[in-house]
Amino acid sequence: MGTLTIGVFSSLIGSMNLDFAVKLAETAADKGHNVNLWLSGNATTAAKKGQKEYKDYSYLIKKISGLQKKGVQVAACEACSEARGIHAGEDIIEGITSIGMDWYVAKAAKSDRVLHIGVE
């Protein structure tokens, strides 16, 4: 088995790229791969607590906590989060690490595959 690191910039609502990244991470984890998921830019909106679930909106809180239970490491860019008023400790979903980009670079450097989704 290998290690896959996925980095995502896309918004939680309005783009399906984050939904895609979460499903790919879930599938890879189910197949026994090590998976790291890095949320930065507008993707940090997925790390915020208190999201309300509406039928026709992307709601990924349960999916992301499901990933964590499968051993996927999920981190959110601290600067991108803070810039969006999403403060470490108060606003970020438990289990998601709020940390600098060096986490992402280090994970990517040690991964077999890296997929960076840099668009909306």
Partner 1 sequence: MKLGIFYSDLRGNHDMLFRLKGEKIGVFLVGNGIYHATIKEKGEPSPILQKKEIDYYVLSEDLSTRGFSTDEVDSDIKVITYSDLTDLIMNDYDKLAWL
Q: Which residues bind partner 1 (CB under 8 A)?
A: 2, 4, 16-17, 20, 23-24, 27-28, 31, 33, 112-119
The nearer residue to partner 1, 88 or 114, going by C-beta atoms, is 114
Whole-number Å distance between alpha carbons of 118 and 120: 7
The nearer residue to partner 1, 22 or 47, going by C-beta atoms, is 22
Whole-number Å distance between alpha carbons of 91 and 88: 6
CB of 24 to partner 1, least distance (A): 6
Whole-number Å distance between alpha carbons of 109 and 25: 18
The nearer residue to partner 1, 84 or 116, going by C-beta atoms, is 116
Whole-number Å distance between alpha carbons of 2 and 113: 8
